[in-house]
Chains A and B, each alone.
Chain A
Amino acid sequence: MAAGPYNYSYIFKYIIIGDMGVGKSCLLHQFTEKKFMADCPHTIGVEFGTRIIEVSGQKIKLQIWDTAGQERFRAVTRSYYRGAAGALMVYDITRRSTYNHLSSWLTDARNLTNPNTVIFLIGNKSDLEAQRDVTYEEAKQFADENECSAKTGDNVEDAFLDTAKKIYQNIQDGSLDLNAAESGVQHKPATPRNPLNTDQTPSKEGCAC
């Protein structure tokens, strides 16, 4: 995929949060592999995924942290919010409880990230229209949101890309300070940092899940 280790100008850190079973890992898999993983096992702790995207002609590497949704893991996963440039907050449109819990996820996201972190709401499983339990309109009132389906792939790309665009915009207009310790964005030099490294094999950029 990538020709060299620094074939991109920025790295953005994302976290994906939300109740267990809402489809966080499936979204990540759909985004990185363009496939639906129906039998996705529970995330125990955290999983990682990465993909390079392009925003306004700039290559950006997304470093995505997919967290376990079960309540008892939160004591641990809370420490992963730090330094995230984007937070994808996911609920399942067929299970109202996952929607009701958003406020608590949002509280964590607000408290544990920096003020410029872009928080993006996702209603997943839009393919299950018949089982819908949360209407589009009410979710819209809660926040600007995006309904998508990790199964069909509908809108998944947009969720990740729109978040990146917003972060990039924040960099451009100066509201996101790249030098701040925990901005969640790293600027990468165009040339490899270590020219003495004789290892020619490009580092693997594939999905880590």
Chain B
Amino acid sequence: MFLVSNTGFLNAHLLPGGCLKRESHLSNGFKGSVVAWLSLADSRGIFINRDGNVPVEKLRQREMKWLDMFENWEKWMSKRFKKVKERCRKGIPPSLRSRAWQYLCGSKFLMDHNTGRYEEYLRQKGDPRWIEDIKKDLHRQFPLHEMFQARGGTGTHAYTIHNPHEGYCQAQGPIAAVLLMHMPAEQAFWCLVSICEKYLPGYYSPGLEAVQLDGDVLFGLLKRSSPSIYKHLKKQRVEPMLYMTEWFMCIFSRTLPWTSVLRVWDMFFCEGVKVLFRIAIVIVRIGLPDSSVLAQCPSMYETIDKLRHIPSHLLEEGFLSTESLRLNITERDMEKEHQKQVQKRKAEREAKSKGPKKTKNKIKS
């Protein structure tokens, strides 16, 4: 069954003809997702199937391999994770993407062990604080669905009930939209839970501390991987939060062409936040490729403009994923940089609490 049967043409490009039967979905889970699909796809004018680059025969082979992995999922994850990673990097076959994401992020497990929870959340009253924010959002671009939405006037809000402290962050909207395009609401809900709690903990909490920390980590990694860009950004005081906030918080869903979004998400579900750093570095390098481009940017505004408005043909999925894997930044580098920034913040906090000291410039060297 297709996601949205009456708009089969939209899905057709994701679903190569003659492939394995699509997993069945509850159709009521997709009201509104058509809108999101259209707006996501429309804004970038990408209705072309770039997955078409993979020959059908090859795709079928890949599907068989994935089906085989699903059969013995735990074993693959514990014993042959490298292979799983490799296959995610190549791109998950579209017909199995939904299932693969749910297996990879453990949301299937969560859901199976929380039978009835989601329905229960939907019945509960939400915190009026969040309900207010969500209500304001209902008319907005991304459909917020029952997962976030008030039902029957009582006001319900599955995620904010699940996590009352975190509540609702508008950056979660685009993420929910991408998930809802692939799976029914309950599945999407548990995927969202997994993303917000396991993959990007603290990202959507008030204050956005975790995002700011990752901004500093990204900046530190740029220093290592692209010193001249780093120097330029530092000189113009282009803080990471000025360009990476939306990239990271929306997992690139509002930044990249649609097929690239899916490829990035395939890798992200397997490898986690590291993928976001790699992609971000690649994008920064595409946006500011050489000294002549840097010279065209006399102030921070031109620089930010270059970073935030990269022509989408430069962000093709194949190029992006190849480049991101070619970076000479290892997982260890990332972990080290992360530790470094954590320590730095801790030291700053301690210094602050000890005595009134002049606050330092936010850009770290």
Interface, chain A (partner B; CB < 8 A): 5, 20-21, 39-42, 44-46, 48, 50, 63, 68, 70-73, 75-76, 79, 95, 97, 193-194, 197, 199, 201, 203-204, 208
Return the 5 tightest CB-CB contacts between A and B, nearest first.
A45-B245, A44-B246, A72-B206, A75-B207, A42-B170
Contact residues in A for B211 (Cβ distance below 8 Å)? 76
- Contact yes or no, B136 A20, CB < 8 A: yes
Contacting residues of chain B (232-247) with chain A, CB-CB under 8 angstroms: 239, 241-242, 245-246
Q: Which of B65-73, B304-312, B325-333 contacts A (4 or more CB under 8 A)?
A: B304-312
- Contact yes or no, B170 A44, CB < 8 A: yes
Contact residues in B for A72 (Cβ distance below 8 Å)? 169, 204-208
Contact residues in A for B342 (Cβ distance below 8 Å)? none
- Contact yes or no, B298 A193, CB < 8 A: yes
Measured between alpha carbons, how far is A86 from B132 in the docked complex, in Å?
Answer: 30
- Contact yes or no, B296 A203, CB < 8 A: yes
Measured between alpha carbons, how far is A203 from B295 in the docked complex, in Å?
Answer: 11
Contact residues in A for B173 (Cβ distance below 8 Å)? 42
A50 and B301 in contact, given A72-B205, A72-B208, A208-B308 (Cβ under 8 angstroms): yes
| Other contacts beyond A75-B207, A76-B211: 20, CB < 8 A | A41-B254, A42-B141, A44-B170, A44-B249, A44-B250, A48-B301, A48-B304, A48-B305, A68-B170, A72-B207, A73-B208, A75-B209, A76-B212, A76-B245, A95-B136, A194-B298, A199-B296, A203-B302, A204-B305, A208-B301
Measured between alpha carbons, how far is A208 from B132 in the docked complex, in Å?
Answer: 30
The prevalent SS among residues of A at the interface is loop
Measured between alpha carbons, how far is A113 from B241 in the docked complex, in Å?
Answer: 20
**Which of B142, B245, B304 has the most chain A CB within a 10 Å cutoff?**
B245
Contact residues in A for B250 (Cβ distance below 8 Å)? 44
CB distance from B17 to the nearest CB of A (A): 32
B140 within 8 A of partner (CB): yes
B133 within 8 A of partner (CB): yes
Contact residues in B for A193 (Cβ distance below 8 Å)? 298
B146 within 8 A of partner (CB): no
- Contact yes or no, B296 A70, CB < 8 A: no
- Contact yes or no, A44 B171, CB < 8 A: yes
Q: Mark B306-320, 1 if CB is under 8 A from A, else 0.
A: 001100000000000
Measured between alpha carbons, how far is A46 from B215 in the docked complex, in Å?
Answer: 14
B292 within 8 A of partner (CB): yes
B137 within 8 A of partner (CB): yes
B39 within 8 A of partner (CB): yes
Contact residues in B for A44 (Cβ distance below 8 Å)? 170-171, 245-246, 249-250, 254
**13 A-B pairs, CB-CB below 8 angstroms?**
A41-B141, A41-B254, A44-B250, A48-B301, A71-B206, A72-B204, A75-B208, A76-B208, A79-B239, A79-B362, A97-B132, A201-B296, A203-B296
Measured between alpha carbons, how far is A197 from B241 in the docked complex, in Å?
Answer: 30
A21 and B137 in contact, given A97-B132, A199-B292 (Cβ under 8 angstroms): yes
- Taking CB as reference atom, which chain A residue is nearest B295? A197
Contact residues in A for B301 (Cβ distance below 8 Å)? 48, 50, 63, 208
Measured between alpha carbons, how far is A208 from B208 in the docked complex, in Å?
Answer: 24
- Contact yes or no, B170 A46, CB < 8 A: no
- Taking CB as reference atom, which chain A residue is nearest B167? A72
Contact residues in B for A41 (Cβ distance below 8 Å)? 140-142, 174, 254
Q: A208's contact among B207, B292, B296, B305, by CB below 8 Å, is which?
A: B305
Measured between alpha carbons, how far is A199 from B293 in the docked complex, in Å?
Answer: 10
Q: A5's contact among B174, B298, B308, by CB below 8 Å, is which?
A: B298
Contacting residues of chain B (199-231) with chain A, CB-CB under 8 angstroms: 204-209, 211-212
Q: B140's contact among A42, A45, A199, A208, by CB below 8 Å, is which?
A: A42
CB distance from A90 to the nearest CB of B (A): 14
Measured between alpha carbons, how far is A193 from B295 in the docked complex, in Å?
Answer: 12
Measured between alpha carbons, how far is A5 from B295 in the docked complex, in Å?
Answer: 13
Measured between alpha carbons, how far is A40 from B142 in the docked complex, in Å?
Answer: 10
CB distance from A25 to the nearest CB of B (A): 11
- Taking CB as reference atom, which chain B residue is nearest A79? B362
- Contact yes or no, A45 B242, CB < 8 A: yes
Q: B242's contact among A5, A21, A46, A199, by CB below 8 Å, is which?
A: A46
